[in-house]
Chains A and B, each alone.
Chain A
Protein backbone atom coordinates (compact mmCIF):
# COMPACT_ATOMS: atom_id res chain seq x y z
CA UNK A 1 0.00 0.00 0.00
CA UNK A 2 1.36 3.39 -0.85
CA UNK A 3 2.27 6.01 1.76
CA UNK A 4 -0.54 8.23 0.54
CA UNK A 5 -3.17 5.53 0.94
CA UNK A 6 -2.04 4.83 4.52
CA UNK A 7 -1.84 8.37 5.85
CA UNK A 8 -4.10 10.35 3.54
CA UNK A 9 -2.81 13.13 1.33
CA UNK A 10 -0.81 16.06 2.65
CA UNK A 11 -2.23 19.56 2.39
CA UNK A 12 -3.09 21.13 -0.98
CA UNK A 13 -0.24 23.61 -0.59
CA UNK A 14 -0.96 25.27 -3.93
CA UNK A 15 -4.43 26.58 -4.63
CA UNK A 16 -4.99 27.97 -8.11
CA UNK A 17 -8.20 29.95 -8.58
CA UNK A 18 -9.01 30.47 -12.22
CA UNK A 19 -11.39 33.32 -11.56
CA UNK A 20 -12.75 33.76 -15.06
CA UNK A 21 -12.40 32.61 -18.66
CA UNK A 22 -12.94 36.17 -19.84
CA UNK A 23 -9.74 37.45 -21.39
CA UNK A 24 -8.97 40.44 -23.61
CA UNK A 25 -6.24 38.35 -25.29
CA UNK A 26 -6.82 35.39 -27.59
CA UNK A 27 -3.48 33.59 -27.35
CA UNK A 28 -2.94 30.63 -29.62
CA UNK A 29 -0.86 28.85 -26.94
CA UNK A 30 -3.34 29.17 -24.08
CA UNK A 31 -3.72 26.01 -21.96
CA UNK A 32 -7.36 26.82 -21.16
CA UNK A 33 -9.78 24.18 -22.42
CA UNK A 34 -10.93 24.79 -26.00
CA UNK A 35 -14.52 24.21 -24.85
CA UNK A 36 -14.45 27.06 -22.32
CA UNK A 37 -17.46 28.64 -24.07
CA UNK A 38 -19.57 26.01 -22.26
CA UNK A 39 -18.98 27.96 -19.04
CA UNK A 40 -21.69 30.52 -18.65
CA UNK A 41 -22.05 30.94 -14.92
CA UNK A 42 -18.93 31.99 -13.00
CA UNK A 43 -18.61 31.54 -9.24
CA UNK A 44 -19.83 34.44 -7.14
CA UNK A 45 -17.62 36.48 -4.82
CA UNK A 46 -19.05 34.62 -1.83
CA UNK A 47 -18.25 31.24 -3.46
CA UNK A 48 -14.62 32.28 -3.95
CA UNK A 49 -14.28 33.55 -0.39
CA UNK A 50 -15.61 30.20 0.88
CA UNK A 51 -13.10 28.32 -1.30
CA UNK A 52 -10.30 30.46 0.15
CA UNK A 53 -11.36 29.84 3.74
CA UNK A 54 -11.83 26.10 3.29
CA UNK A 55 -8.54 25.77 1.39
CA UNK A 56 -6.61 27.64 4.05
CA UNK A 57 -8.09 25.42 6.79
CA UNK A 58 -6.64 22.43 4.94
CA UNK A 59 -3.20 24.04 4.79
CA UNK A 60 -3.19 25.74 1.37
CA UNK A 61 -0.67 28.55 1.51
CA UNK A 62 0.32 29.59 -2.01
CA UNK A 63 -2.55 31.14 -3.91
CA UNK A 64 -2.53 31.70 -7.65
CA UNK A 65 -5.15 34.02 -9.10
CA UNK A 66 -5.41 33.51 -12.83
CA UNK A 67 -7.91 32.90 -15.59
CA UNK A 68 -8.52 34.03 -18.28
CA UNK A 69 -7.59 37.48 -17.15
CA UNK A 70 -8.27 37.80 -13.41
CA UNK A 71 -8.37 41.60 -13.66
CA UNK A 72 -11.60 41.29 -15.61
CA UNK A 73 -13.32 40.35 -12.31
CA UNK A 74 -14.21 43.55 -10.50
CA UNK A 75 -14.18 41.73 -7.15
CA UNK A 76 -10.48 40.84 -7.46
CA UNK A 77 -9.56 43.32 -4.71
CA UNK A 78 -12.08 41.72 -2.33
CA UNK A 79 -10.73 38.24 -3.08
CA UNK A 80 -7.11 39.37 -2.59
CA UNK A 81 -8.01 41.15 0.65
CA UNK A 82 -9.63 38.05 2.14
CA UNK A 83 -6.77 35.82 0.95
CA UNK A 84 -4.24 38.12 2.59
CA UNK A 85 -6.16 38.12 5.89
CA UNK A 86 -6.24 34.33 5.83
CA UNK A 87 -2.45 34.14 5.47
CA UNK A 88 -2.05 33.14 1.82
CA UNK A 89 0.86 34.30 -0.25
CA UNK A 90 -1.07 35.85 -3.12
CA UNK A 91 0.18 35.66 -6.71
CA UNK A 92 -1.61 37.48 -9.52
CA UNK A 93 -0.95 35.90 -12.90
CA UNK A 94 -1.92 38.48 -15.44
CA UNK A 95 -1.53 39.84 -18.94
CA UNK A 96 -1.55 43.26 -17.29
CA UNK A 97 -4.54 44.40 -19.30
CA UNK A 98 -6.80 46.32 -16.95
CA UNK A 99 -4.05 46.98 -14.42
CA UNK A 100 -4.54 50.71 -14.03
CA UNK A 101 -2.90 52.78 -11.32
CA UNK A 102 -6.03 52.86 -9.10
CA UNK A 103 -6.31 49.08 -9.35
CA UNK A 104 -2.68 48.29 -8.56
CA UNK A 105 -2.90 50.70 -5.62
CA UNK A 106 -6.04 48.98 -4.32
CA UNK A 107 -4.48 45.53 -4.81
CA UNK A 108 -1.33 46.58 -2.95
CA UNK A 109 -3.46 47.89 -0.09
CA UNK A 110 -5.46 44.66 -0.08
CA UNK A 111 -2.19 42.78 0.49
CA UNK A 112 -1.30 41.38 -2.92
CA UNK A 113 2.18 39.84 -2.63
CA UNK A 114 3.23 39.25 -6.19
CA UNK A 115 2.47 39.96 -9.82
CA UNK A 116 3.60 37.81 -12.73
CA UNK A 117 3.27 39.67 -15.99
CA UNK A 118 3.07 37.75 -19.23
CA UNK A 119 4.47 38.93 -22.51
CA UNK A 120 4.05 37.25 -25.84
CA UNK A 121 7.17 38.64 -27.52
CA UNK A 122 9.49 41.60 -27.59
CA UNK A 123 8.38 43.05 -30.88
CA UNK A 124 5.05 44.75 -31.04
CA UNK A 125 4.07 43.09 -34.27
CA UNK A 126 4.51 39.54 -33.03
CA UNK A 127 3.14 40.31 -29.58
CA UNK A 128 0.00 41.73 -31.06
CA UNK A 129 -0.37 39.04 -33.68
CA UNK A 130 -0.04 36.11 -31.29
CA UNK A 131 -2.33 37.53 -28.68
CA UNK A 132 -4.57 38.90 -31.39
CA UNK A 133 -4.85 42.37 -29.95
CA UNK A 134 -2.80 45.54 -29.69
CA UNK A 135 -1.37 45.40 -26.25
CA UNK A 136 2.39 45.75 -26.35
CA UNK A 137 2.65 49.41 -25.40
CA UNK A 138 0.09 48.97 -22.69
CA UNK A 139 2.12 46.14 -21.19
CA UNK A 140 5.25 48.23 -21.16
CA UNK A 141 3.36 50.84 -19.15
CA UNK A 142 2.10 48.16 -16.78
CA UNK A 143 5.65 46.91 -16.24
CA UNK A 144 6.64 50.42 -15.14
CA UNK A 145 3.64 50.54 -12.81
CA UNK A 146 4.63 47.23 -11.23
CA UNK A 147 8.10 48.62 -10.48
CA UNK A 148 6.66 51.83 -9.08
CA UNK A 149 4.54 49.87 -6.61
CA UNK A 150 7.65 48.00 -5.50
CA UNK A 151 6.75 44.56 -6.70
CA UNK A 152 9.53 42.35 -7.99
CA UNK A 153 9.34 42.51 -11.76
CA UNK A 154 8.66 38.96 -12.90
CA UNK A 155 8.17 38.52 -16.57
CA UNK A 156 6.84 35.37 -18.16
CA UNK A 157 7.27 34.90 -21.87
CA UNK A 158 5.76 31.85 -23.51
CA UNK A 159 8.10 30.61 -26.24
CA UNK A 160 7.22 28.72 -29.38
CA UNK A 161 8.23 28.33 -32.99
CA UNK A 162 7.06 31.81 -34.02
CA UNK A 163 8.95 33.80 -31.37
CA UNK A 164 11.77 31.60 -30.06
CA UNK A 165 14.25 33.18 -32.49
CA UNK A 166 13.66 36.51 -30.73
CA UNK A 167 15.06 35.39 -27.37
CA UNK A 168 17.88 37.95 -27.51
CA UNK A 169 15.46 40.83 -28.08
CA UNK A 170 13.10 39.47 -25.44
CA UNK A 171 15.91 39.43 -22.87
CA UNK A 172 17.03 42.93 -23.86
CA UNK A 173 13.47 44.13 -23.40
CA UNK A 174 13.30 42.43 -19.98
CA UNK A 175 16.56 44.12 -19.00
CA UNK A 176 15.30 47.54 -20.06
CA UNK A 177 12.22 46.97 -17.88
CA UNK A 178 14.55 46.08 -14.99
CA UNK A 179 13.01 42.64 -14.67
CA UNK A 180 14.43 40.69 -11.75
CA UNK A 181 13.13 37.31 -12.88
CA UNK A 182 12.43 36.17 -16.40
CA UNK A 183 10.76 32.89 -17.21
CA UNK A 184 11.26 31.81 -20.78
CA UNK A 185 8.68 29.09 -20.66
CA UNK A 186 8.25 26.98 -23.74
CA UNK A 187 4.65 26.26 -24.59
CA UNK A 188 3.08 23.26 -22.93
CA UNK A 189 0.78 21.54 -25.34
CA UNK A 190 -2.68 21.51 -23.78
CA UNK A 191 -5.93 23.21 -24.70
CA UNK A 192 -5.48 25.75 -27.49
CA UNK A 193 -1.78 25.05 -27.69
CA UNK A 194 -2.49 21.36 -28.35
CA UNK A 195 -4.84 22.34 -31.13
CA UNK A 196 -2.16 24.59 -32.66
CA UNK A 197 0.81 22.33 -31.84
CA UNK A 198 2.03 21.77 -35.38
CA UNK A 199 2.43 25.48 -35.84
CA UNK A 200 3.95 26.14 -32.40
CA UNK A 201 6.51 23.40 -31.77
CA UNK A 202 10.03 24.76 -32.41
CA UNK A 203 12.73 22.83 -34.21
CA UNK A 204 15.59 21.26 -32.28
CA UNK A 205 17.95 23.78 -33.85
CA UNK A 206 15.79 26.74 -32.81
CA UNK A 207 15.67 25.43 -29.28
CA UNK A 208 19.42 24.92 -29.09
CA UNK A 209 20.10 28.42 -30.42
CA UNK A 210 17.70 29.93 -27.91
CA UNK A 211 19.35 28.08 -25.03
CA UNK A 212 22.80 29.25 -26.13
CA UNK A 213 21.61 32.86 -26.45
CA UNK A 214 20.07 32.65 -23.00
CA UNK A 215 23.27 31.29 -21.48
CA UNK A 216 25.35 34.07 -23.06
CA UNK A 217 22.92 36.63 -21.69
CA UNK A 218 23.08 35.06 -18.21
CA UNK A 219 26.86 35.20 -18.24
CA UNK A 220 26.72 38.89 -19.05
CA UNK A 221 23.77 39.98 -16.88
CA UNK A 222 24.97 38.08 -13.79
CA UNK A 223 22.84 38.09 -10.64
CA UNK A 224 20.68 41.14 -11.26
CA UNK A 225 18.35 39.31 -13.62
CA UNK A 226 17.61 35.64 -13.03
CA UNK A 227 16.56 33.80 -16.15
CA UNK A 228 14.77 30.49 -16.18
CA UNK A 229 14.56 28.58 -19.43
CA UNK A 230 11.95 25.86 -19.51
CA UNK A 231 12.54 23.35 -22.32
CA UNK A 232 9.43 21.94 -24.00
CA UNK A 233 9.18 18.48 -22.55
CA UNK A 234 8.74 16.92 -26.00
CA UNK A 235 12.52 17.32 -26.28
CA UNK A 236 13.22 15.40 -23.08
CA UNK A 237 13.75 11.68 -22.55
CA UNK A 238 12.13 11.55 -19.13
CA UNK A 239 8.77 13.10 -18.22
CA UNK A 240 8.28 15.97 -15.81
CA UNK A 241 6.99 15.06 -12.34
CA UNK A 242 3.73 16.69 -13.34
CA UNK A 243 2.03 18.42 -10.36
CA UNK A 244 4.33 16.30 -8.18
CA UNK A 245 1.76 13.57 -8.83
CA UNK A 246 -1.95 14.35 -9.18
CA UNK A 247 -3.62 15.07 -5.84
CA UNK A 248 -0.30 15.60 -4.09
CA UNK A 249 0.04 19.38 -3.56
CA UNK A 250 -1.99 21.12 -6.24
CA UNK A 251 -5.67 22.09 -6.36
CA UNK A 252 -7.28 24.13 -9.14
CA UNK A 253 -10.75 25.62 -9.07
CA UNK A 254 -12.06 26.61 -12.49
CA UNK A 255 -14.33 29.61 -13.20
CA UNK A 256 -17.49 27.49 -12.87
CA UNK A 257 -16.34 25.91 -9.60
CA UNK A 258 -15.08 22.55 -10.86
CA UNK A 259 -12.21 21.37 -8.65
CA UNK A 260 -9.32 19.72 -10.48
CA UNK A 261 -6.00 18.14 -9.45
CA UNK A 262 -4.32 20.03 -12.32
CA UNK A 263 -5.57 22.84 -14.52
CA UNK A 264 -5.90 20.62 -17.59
CA UNK A 265 -7.39 17.54 -15.87
CA UNK A 266 -10.98 18.15 -16.87
CA UNK A 267 -10.20 16.47 -20.20
CA UNK A 268 -9.39 13.12 -18.55
CA UNK A 269 -12.03 10.56 -19.49
CA UNK A 270 -13.87 8.39 -17.00
CA UNK A 271 -13.35 10.76 -14.07
CA UNK A 272 -15.89 13.00 -12.39
CA UNK A 273 -14.60 16.12 -10.75
CA UNK A 274 -16.62 17.73 -7.97
CA UNK A 275 -17.83 21.31 -7.86
CA UNK A 276 -17.13 23.63 -4.93
CA UNK A 277 -20.78 24.68 -5.01
CA UNK A 278 -21.83 21.14 -4.05
CA UNK A 279 -19.01 19.94 -1.82
CA UNK A 280 -16.52 21.19 0.75
CA UNK A 281 -12.85 21.47 -0.21
CA UNK A 282 -11.93 18.96 2.50
CA UNK A 283 -14.08 16.22 1.00
CA UNK A 284 -12.99 17.16 -2.50
CA UNK A 285 -9.32 16.94 -1.60
CA UNK A 286 -9.34 13.94 0.71
CA UNK A 287 -12.24 11.77 -0.40
CA UNK A 288 -13.53 12.56 -3.87
CA UNK A 289 -12.91 9.76 -6.40
CA UNK A 290 -11.66 12.28 -8.98
CA UNK A 291 -8.80 13.35 -6.70
CA UNK A 292 -7.98 9.87 -5.40
CA UNK A 293 -7.87 8.12 -8.76
CA UNK A 294 -4.29 8.97 -9.67
CA UNK A 295 -2.85 9.06 -6.16
CA UNK A 296 -0.26 6.47 -5.23
CA UNK A 297 0.80 4.02 -7.95
CA UNK A 298 -1.97 1.42 -8.12
CA UNK A 299 -3.28 3.00 -11.34
CA UNK A 300 0.04 2.65 -13.14
CA UNK A 301 0.65 0.42 -16.11
CA UNK A 302 3.94 -0.92 -17.39
CA UNK A 303 6.58 0.31 -17.92
CA UNK A 304 5.88 2.70 -14.99
CA UNK A 305 4.59 0.09 -12.54
CA UNK A 306 7.90 -1.71 -12.15
CA UNK A 307 10.10 1.32 -12.86
CA UNK A 308 12.42 2.53 -10.10
CA UNK A 309 11.92 6.11 -11.30
CA UNK A 310 8.17 6.08 -10.62
CA UNK A 311 8.68 7.75 -7.23
CA UNK A 312 10.57 10.56 -8.95
CA UNK A 313 8.37 11.44 -11.94
CA UNK A 314 5.07 9.71 -10.99
CA UNK A 315 4.74 8.49 -14.57
CA UNK A 316 4.74 12.05 -15.95
CA UNK A 317 1.68 13.92 -17.13
CA UNK A 318 -1.71 12.18 -17.25
CA UNK A 319 -3.13 14.73 -19.67
CA UNK A 320 -0.22 14.30 -22.06
CA UNK A 321 -0.60 10.52 -21.87
CA UNK A 322 -4.29 10.88 -22.70
CA UNK A 323 -3.88 13.43 -25.49
CA UNK A 324 -1.25 11.36 -27.26
CA UNK A 325 -2.18 7.75 -26.53
CA UNK A 326 -5.88 7.91 -25.68
CA UNK A 327 -5.36 6.37 -22.20
CA UNK A 328 -4.47 8.60 -19.25
CA UNK A 329 -3.02 5.63 -17.31
CA UNK A 330 -0.33 5.07 -19.89
CA UNK A 331 3.24 6.23 -19.37
CA UNK A 332 3.73 9.82 -20.48
CA UNK A 333 5.04 9.32 -24.04
CA UNK A 334 7.78 11.87 -23.37
CA UNK A 335 9.54 9.01 -21.54
CA UNK A 336 11.77 7.05 -23.91
CA UNK A 337 10.73 3.86 -22.09
CA UNK A 338 7.13 4.40 -23.25
CA UNK A 339 6.02 2.24 -26.19
CA UNK A 340 4.41 5.46 -27.52
CA UNK A 341 7.58 7.55 -27.36
CA UNK A 342 7.77 7.54 -31.16
CA UNK A 343 4.70 9.83 -31.23
CA UNK A 344 6.82 12.50 -29.54
CA UNK A 345 9.99 11.95 -31.54
CA UNK A 346 7.99 12.03 -34.77
CA UNK A 347 6.52 15.40 -33.86
CA UNK A 348 9.96 16.78 -33.01
CA UNK A 349 11.43 15.33 -36.21
CA UNK A 350 8.67 16.90 -38.26
CA UNK A 351 9.22 20.27 -36.59
CA UNK A 352 12.99 19.96 -37.09
CA UNK A 353 13.00 18.89 -40.75
CA UNK A 354 15.26 21.18 -42.85
CA UNK A 355 12.36 22.02 -45.09
CA UNK A 356 9.80 22.42 -42.36
CA UNK A 357 6.38 22.24 -43.93
CA UNK A 358 4.84 25.62 -44.61
CA UNK A 359 1.85 26.51 -42.52
CA UNK A 360 -0.95 24.26 -43.70
CA UNK A 361 -3.68 26.40 -45.19
CA UNK A 362 -6.37 23.99 -44.14
CA UNK A 363 -5.40 24.30 -40.46
CA UNK A 364 -4.67 27.91 -39.60
CA UNK A 365 -3.66 29.10 -36.15
CA UNK A 366 -6.73 29.08 -34.00
CA UNK A 367 -7.04 32.07 -31.68
CA UNK A 368 -8.53 31.45 -28.25
CA UNK A 369 -11.89 33.17 -28.26
CA UNK A 370 -15.51 32.33 -27.60
CA UNK A 371 -16.42 32.11 -31.25
CA UNK A 372 -13.72 29.53 -32.00
CA UNK A 373 -14.54 27.69 -28.80
CA UNK A 374 -18.17 27.35 -29.90
CA UNK A 375 -17.11 26.35 -33.38
CA UNK A 376 -14.90 23.58 -31.97
CA UNK A 377 -17.76 22.33 -29.81
CA UNK A 378 -19.93 21.83 -32.87
CA UNK A 379 -17.28 19.77 -34.63
CA UNK A 380 -17.78 16.01 -34.49
CA UNK A 381 -15.62 14.49 -31.74
CA UNK A 382 -12.66 12.60 -33.20
CA UNK A 383 -12.91 8.86 -32.64
CA UNK A 384 -9.70 8.75 -30.58
CA UNK A 385 -7.47 11.58 -29.51
CA UNK A 386 -4.32 10.08 -31.01
CA UNK A 387 -5.87 10.21 -34.47
CA UNK A 388 -4.99 13.90 -34.36
CA UNK A 389 -1.27 13.24 -33.98
Chain B
Protein backbone atom coordinates (compact mmCIF):
# COMPACT_ATOMS: atom_id res chain seq x y z
CA UNK B 1 0.00 0.00 0.00
CA UNK B 2 1.08 3.58 -0.50
CA UNK B 3 2.51 5.43 2.46
CA UNK B 4 0.33 8.00 4.16
CA UNK B 5 0.88 11.57 2.89
CA UNK B 6 2.17 14.21 5.37
CA UNK B 7 -0.66 16.57 4.37
CA UNK B 8 -3.67 14.45 5.32
CA UNK B 9 -5.54 14.83 8.62
CA UNK B 10 -6.19 11.38 10.08
CA UNK B 11 -8.97 10.83 12.55
CA UNK B 12 -10.13 7.83 14.55
CA UNK B 13 -12.19 5.36 12.54
CA UNK B 14 -15.93 5.43 12.95
CA UNK B 15 -17.00 3.33 15.91
CA UNK B 16 -13.57 3.61 17.58
CA UNK B 17 -12.96 5.45 20.82
CA UNK B 18 -9.66 6.22 22.49
CA UNK B 19 -9.46 6.66 26.23
CA UNK B 20 -7.07 6.46 29.16
CA UNK B 21 -7.85 3.56 31.50
CA UNK B 22 -6.46 4.02 35.02
CA UNK B 23 -7.02 0.33 35.83
CA UNK B 24 -4.72 -0.66 32.96
CA UNK B 25 -2.41 2.35 33.13
CA UNK B 26 -2.69 2.59 29.37
CA UNK B 27 -4.55 4.18 26.53
CA UNK B 28 -7.03 1.75 25.03
CA UNK B 29 -8.80 1.81 21.73
CA UNK B 30 -12.38 0.65 22.06
CA UNK B 31 -14.49 -0.63 19.21
CA UNK B 32 -17.58 -2.82 18.84
CA UNK B 33 -17.15 -5.70 21.28
CA UNK B 34 -13.41 -5.30 21.44
CA UNK B 35 -10.44 -3.42 22.85
CA UNK B 36 -6.80 -2.87 22.02
CA UNK B 37 -4.46 -1.94 24.84
CA UNK B 38 -1.98 0.49 23.33
CA UNK B 39 1.67 0.88 24.19
CA UNK B 40 2.91 4.32 25.11
CA UNK B 41 3.93 5.53 21.66
CA UNK B 42 0.80 4.20 19.91
CA UNK B 43 -1.32 6.04 22.49
CA UNK B 44 0.63 9.28 22.00
CA UNK B 45 0.21 9.09 18.22
CA UNK B 46 -3.48 8.18 18.20
CA UNK B 47 -4.50 10.81 20.72
CA UNK B 48 -3.18 13.45 18.31
CA UNK B 49 -5.19 12.10 15.35
CA UNK B 50 -8.10 14.48 15.76
CA UNK B 51 -8.93 15.23 12.13
CA UNK B 52 -7.57 18.76 12.57
CA UNK B 53 -3.79 18.17 12.58
CA UNK B 54 -1.90 16.92 9.53
CA UNK B 55 0.47 13.98 9.74
CA UNK B 56 3.34 16.46 9.42
CA UNK B 57 2.06 18.51 12.34
CA UNK B 58 1.58 15.40 14.44
CA UNK B 59 5.18 14.35 13.79
CA UNK B 60 6.45 17.83 14.72
CA UNK B 61 4.34 17.85 17.84
CA UNK B 62 5.65 14.44 18.92
CA UNK B 63 9.25 15.43 18.24
CA UNK B 64 8.92 18.53 20.37
CA UNK B 65 6.94 16.76 23.14
CA UNK B 66 9.56 14.02 23.46
CA UNK B 67 12.65 16.06 22.49
CA UNK B 68 13.33 13.67 19.62
CA UNK B 69 14.11 13.92 15.92
CA UNK B 70 13.54 11.67 12.91
CA UNK B 71 10.21 10.22 14.14
CA UNK B 72 8.44 10.59 10.78
CA UNK B 73 9.29 7.12 9.54
CA UNK B 74 8.06 5.28 12.65
CA UNK B 75 4.97 7.45 13.00
CA UNK B 76 3.85 6.97 9.39
CA UNK B 77 4.62 3.25 9.55
CA UNK B 78 2.33 2.97 12.58
CA UNK B 79 -0.36 5.09 10.90
CA UNK B 80 -0.32 2.85 7.86
CA UNK B 81 -0.92 -0.17 10.06
CA UNK B 82 -3.66 1.73 11.91
CA UNK B 83 -5.37 2.67 8.62
CA UNK B 84 -5.26 -0.95 7.53
CA UNK B 85 -6.91 -1.96 10.81
CA UNK B 86 -9.47 0.89 10.45
CA UNK B 87 -8.31 2.43 13.74
CA UNK B 88 -7.70 5.54 11.66
CA UNK B 89 -9.38 6.98 8.63
CA UNK B 90 -8.70 9.94 6.37
CA UNK B 91 -11.80 12.13 6.05
CA UNK B 92 -12.64 12.85 2.42
Smallest CB–CB gap between A114 and chain B, Å?
Answer: 4
Separation of A61 and B36 alpha carbons in the complex (Å)? 11
Q: Specify which chain B residues have a CB less than 8 angstroms from the CB of A62 in the assembled complex.
A: 30, 33-35
Residue B32 is within 8 A (CB to CB) of chain A in the complex: yes
Number of B interface residues in the complex (CB < 8 A)? 15
Taking CB atoms and an 8 Å cut-off, the chain A residues in 141-183 that contact chain B are 150-152, 154, 181
Q: Mark B21-49, 1 if CB is under 8 A from A, else 0.
A: 11110001011111100000000000000
Q: Mark A346-385, 1 if CB is under 8 A from B, else 0.
A: 0000000000000000000000000000000000000000
Residue of A nearest to B15 (CB): A152
Decide yes or no: A114 and B15 within 8 Å by CB, A62-B33, A91-B33 being known contacts: yes
Decide yes or no: A11 and B24 within 8 Å by CB, A61-B35, A113-B15, A152-B15 being known contacts: yes
In the complex, the answer to whether B32 meets A58 with C-beta atoms within 8 Å is no
Residue of B nearest to A60 (CB): B23
Q: Specify which chain A residues have a CB less than 8 angstroms from the CB of B31 in the assembled complex.
A: 89
In the complex, the answer to whether A61 meets B30 with C-beta atoms within 8 Å is yes
Residue of A nearest to B29 (CB): A89
Residue A64 is within 8 A (CB to CB) of chain B in the complex: yes
In the complex, the answer to whether B14 meets A89 with C-beta atoms within 8 Å is no
Band of interface residues on A: 10 to 19
In the complex, the answer to whether B21 meets A61 with C-beta atoms within 8 Å is yes
Smallest CB–CB gap between B89 and chain A, Å?
Answer: 12
Decide yes or no: A116 and B33 within 8 Å by CB, A61-B28, A152-B14 being known contacts: yes
Q: Specify which chain B residues have a CB less than 8 angstroms from the CB of A154 in the assembled complex.
A: 32
- 5 further A-B pairs in the complex, CB-CB below 8 A; given A58-B23, A62-B30, A91-B32: A59-B22, A114-B33, A116-B32, A152-B32, A154-B32
Q: B residues near A, CB below 8 A?
A: 14-15, 17, 19, 21-24, 28, 30-35
